[in-house]
Amino acid sequence: MMKYSMFIIVILFVLSSCIKRQKSNNTGKSKPNIVFILTDQWRSTAIGYDGNSIVKTPNLDELSQEAVIFKNAVSVCPLCTPYRAALMTGRFPTTTGMFMNDLYLPERELCMAEIFKSAGYKTAYYGKWHLDGHGRYNNVQPYRRQGFDHWKALECSHQYNNMPYYENEDFEIKYWDKYSPFAIVEDAGKYLEEMAKDDPPFLLFISLATPHFPHNTAPEEYKQIYPLKDLKMRENVIEDKYPQLREELQGYYAHCTATDKAIGDLILKIKDLDLYDNSIIIFTSDHGEMMGSHGIRPKEKTVAWDESIKVPFLIRYPGIGENEGKEVFSPLHTPDILPTMLSLADIKIPDPIEGEDLSFTIKNPEKQKDRAVLIMSVYPLTITPVTEYRGIRTMQFTYVKTPEKATMLLDNIADPYQLNNLVGKPESRKLQDRMDRLLRKKLKAIGDENFKPKAYYPEIWGYDFSEGPSIPYNVTPGKITRVYTPKK
């Protein structure tokens, strides 16, 4: 009898230890896993659940019914590197100096994976990184991975059918053997299997480079879903200006649908491993795609139109309950994502973070309130059809200024295609003044109230752009390209 009692005591002790290992320090609840799915250049309107009747995204449509849907999620700076830096740090491009593509996010910045690691999480990163600044095909050294330990990633590539990557401590370049969203999700499934066995809380970041151009490289079977004659353009598109526009849109939608399939496979794997109910799952994109809207070429972003700044954003969290499928119209921008994730995981939000915690709104969508969020282009690409700007997006309005003048005032409810610019119109004067005061207040809070022309910012951050600020897309694998580091 005594041996039997001791056996029971040992079993109870082991079970108690396992439970404690999974508990949060503050609430007594299990720490949620985090699965973050980031896509590239996927605008908010190119998705089924947002009302697009042409594009096929059945898996994301299904996920939206089990998640909270942010209808006004915007990219704080609609360009790859600035967005990713703001996401990882919860700080603004003007604070970190990460205002242009192919810059290096210094190790001194406190980043997402480092914070989750300090709370006991395992961390893993798959896919496109674009925060290293040491050349798009150069290996991101382990000490520059900002807290991500398990690593199958590359700085930047859009060779979807021959995608290169580096694996953990192996510095030899490798290649995915199939369309990269399918290959990455399949490999990430193996990581999930290991996490399900060991049962630690984990942060898994899946960075898929689609549906970013080149659009013609989408899988052929997915292109066939979209006959050119059946494609419908947005009402603000000037189709005659771009003869290849339908081919571009066909490939873009094909990438969207193929990527949706990969995301569906990932969600199914999470469910099969019984990880779904204790996971925070986020799906979003870094910025949108103009695709001919307002006469701006396909492949373009960085501008302040909704096609560029608005992105899809779904979040599912443990215990979501009756909030499944609820819509939030209160705007969210990039720096808000990290503090919101930390709050939902019951992790203290570090002081350097500048974004706002929106976890209350996520858990109480019926109590959502309007707010203004910043958008900006600090150092536009040379091909961008507008100059540098700062702006705000609210539930209803977009307001944008350059260093010289106001350029946009749009009522996005009355004018969803943004065809009626209200700037300077006498009947809109009071509204414009109010929006201008609100923008100045937001900029003052981050020390950018008197923002300058773009040439000012490389100088104060010590960057030398004398050879041009952008690394070419056709760089050779393994070759170290230009590196932008501060002047000494």
Token reading at 207? 């960075």
Residue that the structure tokens 């030398």 belong to: 464
Describe the crossing of helices 180-198 and 245-272 by its angle, rounded to 10 degrees. Answer: 20
HSE, side-chain direction, 13 A CA sphere, residue 301: 29
The answer to whether 224 and 57 are in contact (CB under 8 A) is no
- The predicted pLDDT at position 42 comes to 98
Instruction: Give CA separation, 323 vs 303, 316, 346, 362, 484, in Å.
Output: 33, 9, 19, 8, 45
Amino acid 109 reads E
The answer to whether 415 and 409 are in contact (CB under 8 A) is no
- The predicted pLDDT at position 22 comes to 43
Residue that the structure tokens 């059809």 belong to: 385
- The predicted pLDDT at position 384 comes to 60
> In whole angstroms, what is the distance from residue 12 CA to residue 16 CA?
6
- 24-27 contacts at long range (C-beta below 8 A, 24 or more positions apart): 24/345, 24/346, 25/346, 26/346, 27/346
> In whole angstroms, what is the distance from residue 72 CA to residue 50 CA?
11
CA dihedral 51, 54, 55, 57 (to 10 degrees): 60
Which ranges constitute the DSSP H helices of 159-244?
A: 180-198, 220-223
CATH number of 31-370: 3.40.720.10
Domain spans in the chain, listed from the N-terminal domain onward: 31-370
DSSP annotation of 168 reads T
What is the per-residue DSSP string for 396-419?
SEEEEE-SS-EEEEEETTT-TT--
What is this structure's pTM?
A: 0.91
Which ranges constitute the DSSP H helices of 293-448?
A: 306-309, 337-344, 359-363, 429-445
Give just the sign of the alpha carbon dihedral 111, 112, 117, 122.
Answer: negative
Type and span of the H or E element at 316: strand 313-316
> In whole angstroms, what is the distance from residue 64 CA to residue 283 CA?
10
- E strand intervals along 145-286: 150-154, 164-167, 170-175, 202-211, 279-285
User: 301: closest CA among 79, 131, 38?
Assistant: 79
- The predicted pLDDT at position 247 comes to 98
Chunked into runs of 10 residues, the chain (488 residues) has average pLDDT values of 45 43 44 98 97 97 98 98 98 96 91 98 98 92 96 97 97 96 98 93 98 98 97 95 96 98 98 98 98 94 96 98 98 98 98 97 97 96 77 98 96 98 97 98 96 90 68 38 42
> In whole angstroms, what is the distance from residue 345 CA to residue 33 CA?
8
- The predicted pLDDT at position 28 comes to 39
Which residues are CB-neighbours of 58 under 8 A, at least 6 positions away?
48, 260, 264
The answer to whether 117 and 348 are in contact (CB under 8 A) is no
The answer to whether 344 and 336 are in contact (CB under 8 A) is no
> In whole angstroms, what is the distance from residue 411 CA to residue 417 CA?
10
> In whole angstroms, what is the distance from residue 427 CA to residue 435 CA?
14
The answer to whether 110 and 352 are in contact (CB under 8 A) is yes
- The predicted pLDDT at position 464 comes to 75
The catalytic residues are 80, 130
User: 102: closest CA among 379, 389, 452?
Assistant: 379
- The predicted pLDDT at position 382 comes to 63
